[in-house]
Structure 1
């Protein structure tokens, strides 16, 4: 490369073409990494090892001195001076920016991130102090736990120009405002007192976030608020959906307990209230019943001791059982054991009921069966063993039924060690409807 004659002119196209030759690739990679660590200042050195002939030739031309050794140590200051005096006519950082991609000043980025986090926690402290929570020890503990965990600041990117820092600040501010709404004062013994009003969770979310879904399960904001409620009430942080709902209720917040239902059939509780009577009457008339979480909190589901309850996966089984006038009690998971399903099964298990489970013969069905059987000890497979699977597959083949391929990662059936290997060997999935006639026979 020859010296430029016109300072300030654009870099010479031939000079830039020279800098992009393959023999310099490793050099620019190493120099870029060092510059980004150095705050884009051309200080320090880079060392290249095991140079091949092409690299030695390119480096010799670039540095204007012969290189024959397999290793080379290059001072960034010398390289910067050489580029400025060459046809490139600009320093090392500007040259690499020209070659692309843009350089990142990692030191400045770290400092900016630290400044953003300082601002975040300073603002959060000020917001907390300005609310009735400010003089509550539990609220200070809550904010410190959030800070130490890093849950909130992980929302912030390394580049403060992104909006994630503001998102983190908005989240913690809304969490403080929500808790201040729930605990507006303290009792005579300095313990937090919940608001006497009862909030719907969507109503509370609208008040503090502007969105009815702001406190939905699974959101970071909901987790932060629940952690605050747990500390205020001096209880354990909830680990499952029922305990989360119970904790919301401790703070006078009513979760949505009417939109999710569990499909039942033939339940005949022994209680004398209108709810138990209605369930018995629907069972007598062979009608299915959808129960909500709200109903499950009030109805007394005491059945005759050791009642055997069949559990299926597909609503079609319930429909067919009702059409056939079956008498055995039946509960449907509707494809997955959601919270409302498990709440019902928990209540029945607590009264001494036993379960018989049937589902799809595919890997998702086996996983769901495992989940139910592990949760409830008094559960037996219902036409769900290896022999049942083999019989149903053979019958479907004799009838010329199209075969559904078994896909996905295998799941070990915990109740029958022969079932999973057999399913892998045959490679056929079978949905619950394929055994419908047999299941109805058992329910009759």
Structure 2
């Protein structure tokens, strides 16, 4: 059986003469050096400096192990580790200074260094695993994970330690990567309960869902918002559309009320028709726009109730269909979102579901009116904004996001007037391009 103190270096050795009380000071000094260096054997390397004790018995016991001139009390002497190792082989063929020191102190040496080395080796295996698995991810997910930086990001968030503390770190990471690989493409949605086949509750809690969100750079938001950003629906009772000024058919809602319709109520919804022809309803991404519009109307007693619907992030297929049903009821629909990759995907999904809708202040000129020059690598294709061919090149030129809050005064003006500004910055070819894109979607191309 291998010795737990020295990994078997003491095999066949006679340690009796070396483990006397008079030599304890020497082995403790060597044990301290082994801990500092992370070297439990101490067979070579820089000499170890020791202080000679005052006790004649201690000096006499060490005389045969510390070569050179006679030992004087308080003297500092340098121990040549190669010479000491050779001297110890008389007591055992595999004996090392570190092995004797471990037995003298009754503990394994260099534990911290060994644990640190083992942790680094385990972490490096995780890094290799992440990079290898990320290569096979679908492109839209690989852009979120970013294989070359994923490990560094997880390490900075404390996730490497959390993974390594799991009962089976490799299995946890593999399962998270499997889930990441099933995330939908931008503009599509999926039920979270289907992401782990055979286990609809696997992502309800615990390290797995949190790791998936961390891998996809989505852990900074609440879990529901984070999943929604990835196109994942958690249930049909929470979330949905925040609404003011528009009412489902047959519902008795106070005219000025703001309320939320959950996904379950949005399925196959029918809307009350508008009070007059050419009445607009404004669809936004961020609740702050709806909140500001309601506050503005309250300050002006003569103002009409604003007609605003907020998706509160990326809309689900049910929410997109519900917004498309507004046109069927006779409403004119103006749609907008943030100027970022998620917002453009959001727009494409809504325009595909609502062919009668128009982009609202979502053109290159609108973007430029609030854009700063940034450093964001916007991985966009020109087809990502089919309503304006100038928008994507302009966004790439500025390398910055623009959020709805940046355009809030203009948006509130449009809502108060009751008609959107849809033409700013619109290229003459944009209308034709948008119609073509919608026709291709409807044809299933």
Return the TM-score normalized by structure 1.
Answer: 0.42
Return the TM-score normalized by structure 2.
Answer: 0.42
